[in-house]
Amino acid sequence: MLLGQIPMWPLLKTIPGFDVLTSIAFIAEVGDISRFRKANQVAAFLGLAPRVYSSGDTRRNGVSLNAAPN
C-alpha cells in the first residue's frame, strides 16, 4: 500500500474518524505537514479556524470559509 510509504500515515490512523479515504484527502490537501508549527495553523489553512468579527457593539462568531490558496 502506498500509504505505508508516507511518514505521517501511522499518526493519521490514531485520529478517531480518520479512515483511509479521509487520510488520503488530508495528505493530498495539506501536503507536507511539517510546514505548520501548530495545529491551529493547519485548521486555519483548511478553513476550519473560528473567527470573531466585531464592530462597536456588534459581535459575530463564525468559521472562516477562505482556505489558503494552493
How is the chain split into domains, by residue range?
2-63
Round the average pLDDT of the chain to a whole number and report it.
77
Residue 60 has what pLDDT?
64
Tens of pLDDT, residues 9-46? 888 888 898 888 888 888 889 988 889 999 888 888 88
Q: What residue has cell string 502506498?
A: 2
Residue 53: C-alpha distances to residues 26, 56, 57, 58, 64 (Å) = 28, 10, 11, 8, 11
Residue 33 has what pLDDT?
86
Residue 27 has what pLDDT?
87
Of residues 47 and 52, which shows the higher confidence score?
47
Residue 9: C-alpha distances to residues 32, 35, 38, 60, 66 (Å) = 12, 16, 18, 37, 27
Give this prediction's pTM. 0.60
CB 48 within 8 A of CB 63: yes
